[in-house]
C-alpha cells in the first residue's frame, strides 16, 4: 500500500482500516456516551436534590440508574481506553498499524449499533432495563420488562466487540513490536493494555454466558436462577461478578498506564520502579479473578467463602500500593511543572487512592454488612471511576492531543477545566460517604429527611461537574480547529516513540520499523 | 545497533488492507440478526406473530454473505502473496485467543453446573451450612424435598405436586449410563465419544498428509473427519429425540434438564461450527488451496476441532459419568 | 411491537428540559416545599458516621470500621504528605534539578511487605468479628422474615403469629402535597416487635425477587433470596425503635419498603405477643361471620391501599399493572376475579399470588371494594366463606 493520506468524505470513517481514524472514532463515540450517561446521572441527581418525588416516577428512576451505569461503563470508559489503545499502541511499539485492521473497524462499528439498541429500550413498551447495571436475577428475568431481550443481545454484541478488540491489541503487542522493542522496554501503557486485553478475553465470554442463561430462563423455561427448579438466584451473582470484578480493573489498569506515562514527563525524571510496575499490574490482574464475591458478602455465603474472598480482596491493596508509591517516588526530587495533564494525573493519584481506601474498608466483610448497597459504595466506586478512569482519560487527551492534531490546547482553559472538574467532583461524591455511612441505601428515588442536606450539596456539585465537561468539549474542538502549532516533542523531553514522529502524526507511521535504543 | 539496521533493511512490509466495506456491512447484518432474534423471542413469549423472524433471517443472510466475502478476500490476498510472515503470525495469535475466549464461555456453564450440583442443590435439600434452617423455616424440605444428583424431581414439585410450574423428568429418565434404556452397548454418549476422539485423530492424520504434500491423504482424512462430525451430530439428534419424546426430559425439566441441554447443546453447536469450518477447508483444498507450509486456514480449523473435542471429553466426564 | 411509546418519549423530553433548567428551578422550590416539612434534629441532619448501634456486634463492627478508617487516614497522611512535599519543594520553577534514580530493590521490598503486614493486622479483628456474627446457634426466638414486593412479612415461628409490615407514609407526603412527617419513609403500619436481651434469630427469605433486610442499629443486613434461607441474629440491649430499609434493588418501590423494629422489655413483649395471639383468634372467629356491604367496602379500601396501589394506582387507573376501572376481570364474572386474587395471573409473575398473603376476609373485602369503587358499581359482594368455598373446590 502507498503512503497516501485518508480517503475523502464520510466513507473514510465507515470503511477505514487506519488505527488513527478508528482511535478517533472510538474517542468521539465514548465522549458522546459520556454525555448521555452524564445526562442520565443528572436526572438522578435532580430527583435526589430534595426528598419526595418531583421529576420522575420510581420506575423511570430505576431505568435511569441502570442506563447510567451501563452507558458509563460499557459506552464511556471502555471505548475511551480502546480508542487510546488504537491511537497509541501502534505508535508506541513502532508498528505500522494494528495487527488486524479490518477487524479493528468491525470492533468499533458494532458499538454504535449496540448502544442505539440499548438506548432505544427506553422507548419500548414497559420501559427499558430497570434492574441496575448488575441486573440481578430474578428481577432481570422473571420480573423484567420485555425490553430485557434487546438488552441481552446488545450486551452480547458489545462483548463480541470487546473480544475482537482485545484479540487485536494482544496480537499487535505481541507480534508487531519493532525489532529491539523487548517486552521490558515497552511503555507501561502498552503493558497495562496487554494485561487488560487478557482480562477482557477471559471475562467477556463469561458475561456472554451470564446473559445467555438469563435469555434461556426468560424465554425457554430453564431453571438456572430459580430455586423452584433446583437453581439459585445467587448463581447469577457468582457468574456476573466473575466477570464484573475483573471488569472494574479493566477500567483502571489502562489508567495506571497513562499516569505512568505522564508523571515522569512532568517530573522530568524516569519512572521509578518500572519492573515492579509491570509485576504489580500482573498481580492485580491475577488477584482480580479470585475476589469476585466481595460484592456478595451479604448473600450469606458459608463462612469459609466469606473469609477467603475477604483476604484475597485485601491483598489487592499491596500491588496497588506499589503503584501509588512508585508514582510518588517518581515525583520525589524531580523537577516538576504542572501543566493540565500533570494536574489531572496528580489528582488521579490522590483521589484514586482515596477511592482505594474506601474499597479496602468495603473489603472487610463484617464492616461491609453495614456499607453494602449504601451510598458509601456509590462514593467508593465513583472515586475510583471518575477521578480514576475519567480523569486519566482527560489527562491522556490533554497529553497526546497536540500529537494527534498538531495544535497546542489553551493551557489557561485546560487548567480552568481541571479546577472546575476537581471541585465539582469532590462536592458531588464526597458527601456520599457521609450519607452512606448514615444509612442511605443506593438505588432509591426518595429518601428520609435526615439525608436531605448532603444530597442537595451532591446534586449541586453534579451540575457543576457536568457543565464543566461541556467546557471540555469546547476546549477540544477549539484545539483541533486551530491554535499554536505543537512541536514534534510537544513536552520537555518526553519518553516514547510517539514523540519521534511529526505533530500531527502522519496518517501512516512506522511503515518501516524505527530503530530502538 | 548494527543488528537493528539489518532488521530494518530486511523488513517485509506489513500488509495493511485498503479501506473495506466488510466491517460496516457485517455490523449491519449482525444488528439486524440480533434485533430480529430479540423481537422474535418476544413475539414467541407474547404468542404473537410478527416480522421478527424475517428480520433475523435477513440479518443472518447479510452477516454470512459478508463474512463469506471477507474470508474470501483474505484468502485471495494470502494467495496473492500479500501477507508477510508477520501478518500470518497475527492470524495465529488471533485464532489462539479466540479459542481461549471460547474456553471461558464454556467455563461459565461448567461453573454453573458445579455450583448447582455441589452447593445450591444440597442447600435446597437442607444439607450443609446454608441448608440448616430450611426445615425450621418451612421451606422445600419441610414438604419432603430431597436432593440427589441427577435431580429428576424439582423442589417445586415437592411442594406443589402436579400443579408445579417446573416439573422434573421423573426417576430413571436421566442421561447417565445407569439409566441407559437400550443397554450400555447402545448408550449414545459412549459412541459419540468414540466418534469425536477418532475425528481428532483423523484430522491430525490429514494435517500430516498436508505437511508431506500428500494431497490425497489430506483430503481423504479430512473428508473422514467431516463424516465423523456429521455422524456425531446425528447421534446427538437421536439422543435429544429420545430425551424429549421418550423420556420427557426437556430444557424445562428443572436444573438437570437445564444444565444437560445447555452444555451439550452449546457443545453441539460448536461441533456444527467446527464441522462447517472443516468442510470449507475441504472445499478449498479441492480448489487447490493450501501448501505444506502455508495452510493456516486449515490449521486454525483443526485447532478449533481439537478444542471442541477437549470440551466433549470434559462434558462426557462431568455431565454423563460423575 | 410498539417500538416508540409516544408517552415515554415525550416524558423523556420533558424530564430533560426540566433537568437542564433545574439549578434555577430548584433553588426557589426548596424554600417552597422545605418549609413545612418536619424538622430533623441537627445531629441527624449532618450525620457523618456509621451508627454504633445497640448490640455488641454492632459496636464491634463500628470499632472495626473506625480502626480501618484511621489506618487508611494515617497511610494517606504519609503518602500524600510526601507527595505534597515534593510538589512544593521539587518544582522546576523553584529551580529543582531532577535526580536520576529510578529503582531500589530494598525500598520496593519494604513497601510491599509493610502494607502486607498492616493488612494482616486488620484481618485479625475482622476474622474474629465475622466468626462471632456467623454463630447463630442457640437462639431464644426464631422469626421468619419474608420479603415481598414491597413489604415485609414477619412470622414468629412456633407462636402462630404472623403479619405484614407496610410503608405507612401517605402518598401525599411523597408527592409533596402534604408536609413530610418526622419519620418520612421510615414508618410502617406494624413494626417487628422483639424483646431486649434475648438472642433473636432471623430466618430471612423472599417470595419474589431479591430483597435485603437491613437495620443499621442491629448491624444486620442479609439478602432475602427466594427459595433459600439466610440466617442472622441480634441481641438488642436497649429498648427502643430502630429503623432500616430494604437494601437490595427489588423494583419500582424498592425505596419504599422500610423496616421498623420495636425492641421492648421482656414483659411488654410477652404482653404484646399474647395480644397478637388473641387478635389471631378473633380473626379466625370472624372468618365465618357475615359482613355488611359497607364493612366490606371500608375494609377493602384499606387492603387496597396497603397492597395494590403500588401497581394499580390510587384510583385503580393502572401503572405497573392494568387499569381496574370498568374493564376486564374486575367487571367480569366474580369467580374469575376470585381466581386471579387467589392464584395470580398464569404466566405473569408480576401480579402476586395473594391466596396465602391475604386472609379470606381481606380477599373478600378487597374484591368487593374493587367491584364497587371508582364507578365500577357491580353491586355484588363476597363473604369470607365464599373465598373458603372457592379454595376448597380447587
Ligand atoms: C475502577 C474501578 C474500581 C477499582 C479500581 C476498585 C478497587 C477496589 N475495590 Fe471496588 N468497586 C467498583 C469499582 C472499583 N473498585 C465498583 C464499580 C463497585 C460497585 C459495583 C456495584 O455494586 O454496582 C465496587 C464495589 C466494591 C466492593 C463491594 C461493596 C459492596 O457492594 O458492598 C468492594 C468490597 O470489597 C470493593 C473493594 C475494592 C478494593 C479492595 C479495591 C482495591 O483495588 C483498591 C486498592 C487501592 C488502595 C488500597 C489504595 C492505594 C494503596 C496504598 C496507598 C497502599 C497501602 C494501603 C493499605 C495497606 C491500606 N469494591
Ligand atoms: C465510569 C463510570 C461512571 C461515571 C463517569 C459516573 C458519573 C457520574 N455518576 Fe455514576 N454510576 C456508575 C458509574 C459512573 N458514574 C455506576 C456503575 C453506577 C451504578 C448503577 C447502578 O446502581 O446500577 C452509578 C450510579 C450513580 C448514582 C447512584 C444512583 C442510584 O443508586 O440510584 C449516582 C447518584 O448520584 C451517580 C451520579 C453520577 C454523577 C453525578 C456523575 C457525573 O460524573 C456525571 C457528569 C455529567 C456529565 C458528564 C453530563 C454532561 C452533560 C451535560 C451537562 C448536558 C449537555 C448535553 C448535551 C451536549 C447533549 N451515579
Ligand atoms: Cu425490597 Cu428493595
Ligand atoms: Cu469488585
Is pLDDT at B15 greater than 50 in this prediction?
Answer: yes
> Which of C213, C270, C260, C256 lies closest to C240 in space, CA to CA?
C260
Give the C-alpha separation, B104 to B99, whole Å.
9
Strand extents, DSSP E, chain C: 141-148, 151-156, 161-165, 192-195, 200-206, 211-215, 220-224, 230-234, 240-246, 258-264
Task: Considering only CA atoms, give the Rg of chain B.
Answer: 25
- Least CA distance to B40: which residue of chain C? C1
Buried b (16+ CB within 10 A) or exposed e, C160-189: ebebbbbbbbeeebbebeeebbebbbbbbe
Average pLDDT over residues B85-100: 91
C-alpha cell at A460: 449541586
* Nearest CA residue ID for atom 33, ligand 2: A41
Q: Are A389 and A255 in contact (CB under 8 A)?
A: yes
> Residue C106 burial by CB count (10 A; 0-12/13-18/19+): exposed, middle or buried?
exposed
**Beta-carbon separation of B124 and C144 below 8 A:** no
- Least CA distance to B122: which residue of chain C? C228
Would you tell me how many other CB atoms lie within 10 Å of the CB of residue A117? 21
DSSP per-residue codes, C182-203: TTTTS-BSS-EEEETTS-EEEE
C-alpha cell at C379: 353491586
Place of cell 478475553: A201
Give the C-alpha separation, B205 to B223, whole Å.
11
- Residues of chain A found within 8 Å of residue B86, distances taken between Cβ atoms: 175-176
CA distances (Å), origin A252, targets A128, A246, B254: 28, 10, 40
- Residues of chain C found within 8 Å of residue A457, distances taken between Cβ atoms: none
Average pLDDT over residues B88-101: 93
Q: Are C306 and C314 in contact (CB under 8 A)?
A: no
Q: Are A353 and A324 in contact (CB under 8 A)?
A: yes
CA distances (Å), origin A310, targets A253, A322, B239: 22, 20, 45
Q: Is the CB of A309 under 6 A from ligand 1?
A: no
**Beta-carbon separation of B112 and A239 below 8 A:** yes
Nearest to C108 among A317, A322, A328 (CB): A322
> Which of B201, B271, B280 lies closest to B230 in space, CA to CA?
B271
Give the C-alpha separation, A109 to C26, whole Å.
40
Rounded to the nearest 10 degrees, the angle between the axes of helix A274-288 and helix A317-331 is: 160
C-alpha cell at A35: 454525555
Rounded to the nearest 10 degrees, the angle between the axes of helix A303-315 and helix C105-134 is: 160
Alpha helices in B129-214 (DSSP H): 155-160, 188-211
pLDDT at A444: 96
Site to probe by mutation for ligand 2, drawn from A74, A378, A471 as the one with most ligand atoms within 8 Å of Cβ, is A378
> Which of B245, B204, B244, B251 lies closest to B225 in space, CA to CA?
B204
**Beta-carbon separation of A438 and C47 below 8 A:** yes
C-alpha cell at C81: 504528605
Give the C-alpha separation, C345 to B286, whole Å.
60
Distance from CA of C144 to the nearest CA of B (A): 6
Give the C-alpha separation, C204 to C206, whole Å.
7
End-to-end CA distance of chain B: 60
Distance A250 CA to ligand 1 centre (A): 13
Classify the C-alpha dihedral B103-B104-B107-B112 as positive or negative.
Answer: negative
pLDDT at C379: 79
Distance A41 CA to ligand 2 centre (A): 4
pLDDT at A431: 95
pLDDT at C30: 47
Q: What is the ipTM of this complex?
A: 0.92
**pLDDT, tens only, B275-290:** 999 999 999 999 888 8
Alpha helices in A316-446 (DSSP H): 317-331, 340-363, 365-371, 375-384, 391-405, 411-437
Q: Please tell me if residue C224 touches chain A, with a CB cutoff of 8 Å.
A: no
Give the C-alpha separation, A216 to B89, whole Å.
38
Q: What is the pLDDT along chain A (517 residues), one digit of tens a residue?
A: 445 677 778 888 999 999 999 999 999 999 999 999 999 999 999 999 999 999 999 999 999 999 999 999 999 999 999 999 999 999 999 999 999 999 999 999 999 999 999 999 999 988 999 999 999 999 999 999 999 999 999 999 999 999 999 999 999 999 999 988 999 999 999 999 999 999 999 999 999 999 999 999 999 999 999 999 999 999 999 999 999 999 999 999 999 999 999 999 999 999 999 999 999 999 999 999 999 999 999 999 999 999 999 999 999 999 999 999 999 999 999 999 999 999 999 999 999 999 999 999 999 999 999 999 999 999 999 999 999 999 999 999 999 999 999 999 999 999 999 999 999 999 999 999 999 999 999 999 999 999 999 999 999 999 999 999 999 999 999 999 988 999 999 998 899 999 999 989 999 888 888 887 6
pLDDT at A171: 95
Give the C-alpha separation, C244 to B71, whole Å.
60
Distance C331 CA to ligand 3 centre (A): 32
Give the C-alpha separation, A183 to A173, whole Å.
9
Average pLDDT over residues B253-269: 95
pLDDT at C377: 80
Give the C-alpha separation, C288 to C266, whole Å.
35
**Beta-carbon separation of B137 and C227 below 8 A:** no
Question: Chain C neighbours among B 161-220 (CB < 8 Å)?
Answer: none
Q: Is the CB of C211 under 6 A from ligand 3?
A: yes
Q: Are B257 and A220 in contact (CB under 8 A)?
A: no
**Beta-carbon separation of B42 and C1 below 8 A:** yes
Chains that touch B (3 or more CB pairs under 8 A): A, C
**Beta-carbon separation of C1 and B136 below 8 A:** no
Rounded to the nearest 10 degrees, the angle between the axes of helix C6-34 and helix A452-481 is: 130
Distance from CA of A315 to the nearest CA of B (A): 24
Superfamily of chain region A10-500: Cytochrome c oxidase-like, subunit I domain (1.20.210.10)
CA distances (Å), origin C242, targets A240, A449, C220: 34, 16, 12
pLDDT at C47: 78
Kindly report the pTM of this predicted structure: 0.93
Strand partners, C348: C345
Question: Chain A neighbours among B 199-238 (CB < 8 Å)?
Answer: none
Active site residues of A: 68, 97, 133, 161-162, 245, 247, 249, 260, 294-295, 320, 323, 442
Q: Which atom of ligand 1 is nearest to the CA of A360?
A: 40
- Residues of chain C found within 8 Å of residue B120, distances taken between Cβ atoms: 228
Q: What is the set of domains in chain C, with CATH numbers?
A: 2-91+103-133 (1.10.287), 141-285 (2.60.40.420), 287-393 (1.10.760.10)
Distance from CA of C233 to the nearest CA of B (A): 13
Q: Which residues are CB-contacts of C338 (< 8 A; sequence separation ≥ 6)? A: C363, C367, C382, C386, C387, C390
Q: Are strands C240-246 and C141-148 parallel, antiparallel or unpaired?
A: unpaired
* Nearest CA residue ID for atom 30, ligand 1: A372
* List of chain C residues with pLDDT < 70: 1-36, 43
> Which of C352, C357, C354, C370 lies closest to C299 in space, CA to CA?
C370
Q: Are C367 and C294 in contact (CB under 8 A)?
A: no
Residue C333 φ/ψ, nearest 5 degrees:
-60, 140
> Residue A5 burial by CB count (10 A; 0-12/13-18/19+): exposed, middle or buried?
exposed
> Which of A133, A126, A55, A72 lies closest to A445 in space, CA to CA?
A55
Is the peptide bond between A492 and the residue preceding it cis, with omega within 30 degrees of 0? no
Q: Are B291 and B284 in contact (CB under 8 A)?
A: no
Give the C-alpha separation, A180 to A93, whole Å.
10
Distance A68 CA to ligand 2 centre (A): 6
Starting at the earlier edge strand, list the strands of the sheet with C141-148: C161-165, C151-156, C141-148, C200-206, C230-234
8-state DSSP, A485: B
Q: Are A411 and A340 in contact (CB under 8 A)?
A: yes
Buried b (16+ CB within 10 A) or exposed e, A418-434: bebbbebbbbbbbbbbb
DSSP per-residue codes, B171-182: TT-SSSGGG-TT
DSSP per-residue codes, B64-122: HHHHHHHHHHHHHHHHTT---HHHHHHHHHHHHHHHHHHHHHHHHHHHHHHHIIIIIHH
Q: Are strands C200-206 and C141-148 parallel, antiparallel or unpaired?
A: parallel
Q: Are A93 and A178 in contact (CB under 8 A)?
A: yes
pLDDT at B162: 83
The full set of domain ranges for chain A reads: 10-500
Classify the C-alpha dihedral B1-B7-B9-B13 as positive or negative.
Answer: negative
C-alpha angle C351-C356-C357 in degrees, rounded to nearest 5: 65
Distance C157 CA to ligand 3 centre (A): 23
Distance from CA of C270 to the nearest CA of B (A): 22
pLDDT at A4: 62
Residue B96 φ/ψ, nearest 5 degrees:
-60, -45
Which phi-psi region, left, alpha or beta, contains residue C383 (left: φ > 0; alpha: ψ -120 to 50)?
Answer: beta
- Residues of chain B found within 8 Å of residue C203, distances taken between Cβ atoms: 133, 136-137
**Beta-carbon separation of A438 and C15 below 8 A:** no
Q: What is the set of domains in chain B, with CATH numbers?
A: 18-82 (1.10.287.70)
Give the C-alpha separation, A344 to A394, whole Å.
7
Amino acid at each position: 500500500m502507498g503512503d497516501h493520506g485518508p480517503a475523502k468524505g464520510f466513507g473514510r470513517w465507515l470503511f477505514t482500516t487506519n488505527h488513527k481514524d478508528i482511535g478517533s472514532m472510538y474517542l468521539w463515540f465514548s465522549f458522546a456516551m459520556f454525555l448521555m450517561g452524564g445526562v442520565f446521572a443528572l436526572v438522578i441527581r435532580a430527583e435526589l436534590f430534595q426528598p419526595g418525588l418531583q421529576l420522575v416516577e420510581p420506575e423511570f428512576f430505576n431505568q435511569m440508574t441502570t442506563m447510567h451505569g451501563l452507558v458509563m461503563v460499557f459506552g464511556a470508559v471502555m471505548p475511551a481506553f480502546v480508542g487510546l489503545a488504537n491511537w497509541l499502541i501502534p505508535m508506541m511499539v513502532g508498528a505500522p498499524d494494528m495487527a488486524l485492521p479490518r477487524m479493528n473497524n468491525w470492533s468499533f462499528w458494532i458499538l454504535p449499533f449496540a448502544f442505539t439498541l440499548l438506548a432505544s429500550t427506553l422507548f419500548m413498551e414497559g420501559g427499558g432495563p430497570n434492574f441496575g447495571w448488575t441486573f440481578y436475577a430474578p428481577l432481570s428475568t422473571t420480573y423484567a420488562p420485555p425490553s430485557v431481550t434487546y438488552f441481552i443481545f446488545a450486551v452480547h454484541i458489545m462483548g463480541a466487540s470487546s473480544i475482537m478488540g482485545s484479540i487485536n491489541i494482544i496480537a499487535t503487542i505481541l507480534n508487531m513490536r519493532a525489532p529491539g522493542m523487548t517486552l521490558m522496554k515497552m511503555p507501561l501503557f502498552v503493558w497495562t493494555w496487554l494485561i487488560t486485553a487478557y482480562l477482557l478475553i477471559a471475562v467477556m465470554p463469561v458475561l456472554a454466558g451470564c446473559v445467555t442463561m438469563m435469555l434461556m430462563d426468560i424465554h425457554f423455561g430453564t431453571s438456572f436462577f430459580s430455586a423452584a427448579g433446583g437453581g439459585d438466584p445467587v448463581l447469577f451473582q457468582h457468574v456476573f461478578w466473575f466477570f464484573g470484578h475483573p471488569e472494574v480493573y479493566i477500567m483502571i489498569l489502562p489508567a495506571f498506564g497513562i499516569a505512568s506515562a505522564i508523571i515522569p514527563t512532568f517530573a522530568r525524571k524516569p519512572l521509578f520502579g518500572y519492573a515492579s510496575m509491570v509485576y504489580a499490574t500482573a498481580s492485580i490482574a491475577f488477584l482480580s479473578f479470585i475476589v469476585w464475591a466481595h460484592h456478595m458478602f451479604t448473600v450469606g455465603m458459608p463462612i469459609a467463602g466469606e473469609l477467603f474472598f475477604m483476604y484475597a480482596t485485601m491483598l489487592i491493596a499491596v500491588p496497588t500500593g506499589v503503584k501509588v508509591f512508585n508514582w510518588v517516588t517518581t515525583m520525589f526530587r524531580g523537577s516538576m511543572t504542572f501543566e493540565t495533564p500533570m494536574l489531572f494525573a496528580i489528582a488521579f493519584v490522590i483521589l484514586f487512592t482515596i477511592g482505594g481506601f474506601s474499597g479496602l474498608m468495603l473489603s472487610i466483610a463484617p464492616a461491609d454488612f453495614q456499607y453494602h448497597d449504601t451510598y458509601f459504595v456509590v462514593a467508593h466506586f465513583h472515586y475510583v471511576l471518575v477521578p480514576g478512569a475519567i480523569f486519566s482519560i482527560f489527562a491522556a487527551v490533554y497529553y497526546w492531543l497536540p500529537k494527534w492534531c498538531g495544535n497546542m490546547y489553551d493551557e489557561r482553559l485546560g487548567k480552568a477545566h481541571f479546577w472546575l472538574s476537581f471541585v465539582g467532583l469532590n462536592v458531588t461524591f464526597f458527601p456520599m460517604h457521609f450519607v452512606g455511612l448514615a444509612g442511605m441505601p443506593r438505588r432509591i428515588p426518595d429518601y428520609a429527611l435526615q439525608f436531605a442536606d448532603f444530597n442537595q450539596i451532591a446534586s449541586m456539585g453534579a451540575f457543576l461537574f457536568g457543565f464543566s465537561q461541556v467546557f471540555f468539549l469546547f476546549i477540544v474542538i477549539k484545539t483541533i480547529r486551530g491554535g499554536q502549532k505543537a512541536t514534534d516533542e510537544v513536552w520537555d523531553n518526553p519518553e516514547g516513540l510517539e514523540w519521534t514522529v511529526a505533530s500531527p502524526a502522519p496518517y501512516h507511521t512506522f511503515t518501516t520499523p524505527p530503530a530502538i535504543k | 545497533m548494527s543488528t537493528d539496521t539489518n532488521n530494518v533493511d530486511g523488513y517485509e512490509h506489513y500488509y495493511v488492507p485498503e479501506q473495506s466495506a466488510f466491517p460496516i456491512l457485517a455490523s449491519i447484518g449482525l444488528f439486524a440478526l440480533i434485533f430480529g432474534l430479540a423481537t422474535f423471542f418476544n413475539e414467541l413469549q407474547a404468542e404473537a406473530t410478527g416480522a421478527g423472524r424475517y428480520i433475523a433471517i435477513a440479518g443472518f443472510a447479510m452477516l454470512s454473505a459478508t463474512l463469506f466475502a471477507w474470508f474470501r478476500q483474505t484468502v485471495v490476498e494470502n494467495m496473492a502473496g500479500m501477507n508477510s510472515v508477520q501478518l500470518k503470525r497475527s492470524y495465529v495469535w488471533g485464532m489462539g485467543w479466540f479459542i481461549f475466549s471460547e474456553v471461558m464461555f464454556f467455563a461459565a456453564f461448567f461453573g454453573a453446573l458445579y455450583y448447582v450440583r455441589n452447593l445450591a442443590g444440597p442447600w435446597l435439600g437442607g444439607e450443609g451450612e446454608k441448608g440448616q434452617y430450611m426445615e425450621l423455616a418451612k421451606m422445600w424440605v419441610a414438604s419432603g424435598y430431597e436432593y440427589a444428583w441427577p435431580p429428576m424431581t424439582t423442589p417445586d414439585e415437592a411442594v406443589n405436586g402436579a400443579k408445579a410450574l417446573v416439573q422434573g423428568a421423573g426417576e430413571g429418565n436421566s442421561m447417565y449410563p445407569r439409566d441407559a434404556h437400550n443397554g450400555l452397548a447402545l448408550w449414545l454418549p459412549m459412541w459419540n465419544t468414540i466418534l469425536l476422539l477418532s475425528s481428532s485423530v483423523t484430522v491430525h492424520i490429514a494435517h500430516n498428509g498436508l505437511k508431506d504434500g500428500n494431497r490425497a491423504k489430506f483430503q481423504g482424512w479430512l473428508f473422514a473427519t467431516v463424516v465423523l462430525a456429521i455422524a456425531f451430530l446425528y447421534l446427538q439428534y437421536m439422543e435429544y429425540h429420545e430425551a424429549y419424546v421418550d423420556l420427557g426430559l426437556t430444557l424445562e425439566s428443572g436444573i438437570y434438564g437445564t444444565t444437560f441441554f445447555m452444555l451439550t447443546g452449546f457443545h453441539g453447536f460448536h461441533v456444527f461450527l467446527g464441522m462447517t469450518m472443516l468442510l470449507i477447508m475441504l472445499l478449498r483444498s479441492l480448489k487447490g488451496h493450501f501448501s505444506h507450509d502455508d495452510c493456516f486456514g486449515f490449521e486454525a480449523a483443526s485447532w478449533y476441532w481439537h478444542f471442541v473435542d477437549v470440551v466433549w471429553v470434559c462434558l462426557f466426564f462431568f455431565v454423563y459419568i460423575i | 411491537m410498539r417500538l416508540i411509546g409516544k408517552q415515554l418519549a415525550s416524558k423523556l423530553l420533558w424530564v430533560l428540559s426540566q433537568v437542564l433548567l433545574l439549578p434555577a428551578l430548584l433553588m426557589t422550590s426548596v424554600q417552597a416545599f422545605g418549609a413545612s416539612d418536619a424538622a430533623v434534629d441537627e445531629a441527624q441532619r449532618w450525620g457523618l458516621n456509621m451508627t454504633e448501634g445497640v448490640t455488641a456486634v454492632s459496636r464491634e463492627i463500628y470499632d472495626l470500621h473506625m480502626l480501618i478508617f484511621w489506618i487508611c487516614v494515617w497511610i494517606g497522611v504519609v503518602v500524600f504528605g510526601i507527595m505534597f512535599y515534593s510538589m512544593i519543594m521539587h518544582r522546576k520553577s523553584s529551580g529543582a534539578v531532577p535526580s536520576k534514580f529510578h529503582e531500589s530493590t530494598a525500598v520496593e521490598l519494604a513497601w510491599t511487605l509493610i502494607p502486607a503486614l498492616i493488612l494482616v493486622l486488620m484481618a485479625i479483628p475482622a476474622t474474629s468479628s465475622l466468626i462471632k456474627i456467623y454463630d447463630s446457634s442457640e437462639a431464644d426466638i426464631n422469626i421468619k422474615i419474608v420479603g415481598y414486593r414491597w413489604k415485609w412479612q414477619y412470622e414468629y415461628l412456633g407462636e402462630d403469629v404472623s403479619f405484614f409490615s407496610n410503608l405507612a407514609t401517605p402518598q401525599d407526603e411523597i408527592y409533596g402535597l402534604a408536609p413530610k412527617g418526622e419519620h418520612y419513609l421510615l414508618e410502617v403500619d406494624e413494626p417487628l416487635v422483639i424483646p431486649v436481651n434475648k438472642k433473636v434469630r432471623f430466618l430471612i427469605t423472599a417470595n419474589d425477587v431479591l430483597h435485603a433486610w437491613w437495620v443499621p442499629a442491629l448491624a444486620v443486613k442479609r439478602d432475602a433470596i427466594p427459595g433459600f434461607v439466610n440466617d442472622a441474629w441480634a441481641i438488642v440491649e436497649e429498648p427502643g425503635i430502630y429503623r432500616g430499609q430494604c437494601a437490595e434493588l427489588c423494583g419500582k418501590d424498592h425505596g419504599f419498603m422500610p423496616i421498623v423494629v420495636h425492641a421492648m422489655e421482656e414483659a411488654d413483649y410477652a404482653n404484646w405477643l399474647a395480644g397478637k395471639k388473641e387478635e389471631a383468634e378473633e380473626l379466625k372467629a370472624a372468618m365465618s361471620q357475615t359482613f355488611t356491604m359497607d364493612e366490606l367496602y371500608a375494609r377493602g379500601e384499606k387492603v387496597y391501599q396497603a397492597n395494590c396501589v403500588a401497581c394499580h394506582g390510587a384510583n385503580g387507573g393502572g401503572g405497573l399493572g392494568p387499569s381496574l376501572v370498568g374493564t376486564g376481570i374486575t367487571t367480569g364474572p366474580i369467580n374469575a376475579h376470585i381466581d386471579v386474587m387467589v392464584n395470580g395471573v398464569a404466566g405473569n409473575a408480576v401480579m402476586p399470588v395473594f391466596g396465602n398473603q391475604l386472609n379470606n376476609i381481606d380477599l373478600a373485602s378487597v374484591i368487593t371494594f374493587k367491584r364497587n369503587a371508582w364507578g365500577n358499581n357491580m353491586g355484588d359482594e363476597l363473604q369470607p366463606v365464599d373465598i373458603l368455598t372457592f379454595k376448597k373446590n380447587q
